[in-house]
Chains A and B, each alone.
Chain A
Amino acid sequence: MNALNIQKGASSHSAYDLRDPNAQVEESHTLAVLVENEPGVLARVIGLFSGRGYNIDSLTVAEVDHTGHQSRITMVTSGTPAVIEQIKAQLGRIVPVHDVHDLTVEGPSVERELGLFKVRGQGDKRVEALRIAEIFRANVVDSTLESFVFELVGTPSKLDAFAELMRPLGLADLARTGVAALARGA
Chain B
Amino acid sequence: MSRIMTGARMVIEALRDQGVDTVFGYPGGAVLPIYDELFQQNDITHVLVRHEQGAVHMAEGYARSTGKPGVVLVTSGPGATNAVTGLTDALMDSIPLVVLSGQVPTFLIGTDGFQEADTVGITRPCTKHNWLVKDTAKLSETIHKAFHVATSGRPGPVLIDIPKDVQFAEDAYQGPKQIDPPRYQPVRKGDVTAITRLVELIEQAERPILYTGGGVINSGPGASQLLRELADATGIPVTSTLMGLGAYPASGRNWIGMLGMHGLYEANLAMHGCDLMVNIGARFDDRITGRIAEFSPGSVKAHIDIDPSSINKVIHVDIPIIGDVGHVLEDLLKIWKSRGRKVNTAALGKWWEQIEGWKSKNCLFYRGSDTIIKPQFALERLEALTKGRDRYVTTEVGQHQMWAAQFLHFDEPNRWMTSGGLGTMGYGLPASIGVQMAHPESLVINVAGDASWLMNMQEMGTAVQFRLPVKQFILNNERLGMVRQWQQLLHGERYSQSWSDSLPDFIKLAEAFGCKGAQVQDPKDLDDAIQQMIDYDGPFILDVLVEKHENCFPMIPSGKPHNEMLLGDAETQGAIQGAGAALV
Q: Do A and B bind each other?
A: yes
The chain A residues found within 8 Å of chain B, CB to CB, are: 1-2, 4, 6, 8-13, 21-22, 36, 39-40, 43-44, 47, 51, 82, 85-86, 89-90, 92-96, 98
B309 interfacial contact with A, CB 8 Å? yes
Residues of A within 8 A of B349 (CB): none
Residues of A within 8 A of B318 (CB): 6, 8-11
B132 interfacial contact with A, CB 8 Å? yes
Q: Which one of A40, A47, A90, A92 has the greatest number of beta carbons of chain B within 10 Å?
A: A40
Binds A, one of B200-208, B437-445, B530-538: B200-208
Question: Are the C-beta atoms of B308 and A44 separated by less than 8 Å?
Answer: no
Question: Are the C-beta atoms of B312 and A47 separated by less than 8 Å?
Answer: no
Q: Which of A6, A8, A47, A98 is B124 in contact with, Cβ under 8 Å?
A: A47
Query: Nearest 3 A-B pairs (CB), nearest first?
Result: A89-B309, A1-B275, A95-B129
Separation of A131 and B470 alpha carbons in the complex (Å): 83
Residues of A within 8 A of B128 (CB): 95
25 A–B contacts, CB within 8 A, in A order:
A1-B201, A1-B206, A1-B207, A1-B276, A4-B300, A6-B318, A8-B316, A11-B318, A21-B312, A39-B132, A40-B124, A40-B132, A43-B121, A43-B124, A44-B124, A47-B124, A51-B125, A89-B309, A89-B311, A92-B309, A93-B309, A95-B128, A95-B149, A96-B129, A98-B183
Separation of A78 and B125 alpha carbons in the complex (Å): 22
What's the least CB distance linking A84 to chain B, in Å? 11
What's the least CB distance linking A21 to chain B, in Å? 5
Separation of A116 and B113 alpha carbons in the complex (Å): 42
Question: Are the C-beta atoms of B191 and A13 separated by less than 8 Å?
Answer: yes
Q: Which residue of A lies closest to B302 (CB)?
A: A11
Separation of A94 and B276 alpha carbons in the complex (Å): 32
Q: Which residue of A lies closest to B145 (CB)?
A: A95
Separation of A13 and B194 alpha carbons in the complex (Å): 9
B430 interfacial contact with A, CB 8 Å? no
Question: Are the C-beta atoms of A12 and B320 separated by less than 8 Å?
Answer: yes
Question: Are the C-beta atoms of A1 and B300 separated by less than 8 Å?
Answer: yes
Q: Which residue of A lies closest to B206 (CB)?
A: A1
What's the least CB distance linking B365 to chain A, in Å? 33
Q: Which residue of B lies closest to A96 (CB)?
A: B129
Separation of A157 and B132 alpha carbons in the complex (Å): 41
B162-193 contacts to A, CB under 8 A, are 183-184, 191, 193
Q: Which of B204, B309, B313, B319 is A11 in contact with, Cβ under 8 Å?
A: B319
Q: Which residue of B lies closest to A93 (CB)?
A: B309
Q: Which residue of B lies closest to A13 (CB)?
A: B191
Residues of B within 8 A of A22 (CB): 316
B120 interfacial contact with A, CB 8 Å? yes
Question: Are the C-beta atoms of B309 and A4 separated by less than 8 Å?
Answer: no
Separation of A94 and B129 alpha carbons in the complex (Å): 8
What's the least CB distance linking A82 to chain B, in Å? 6
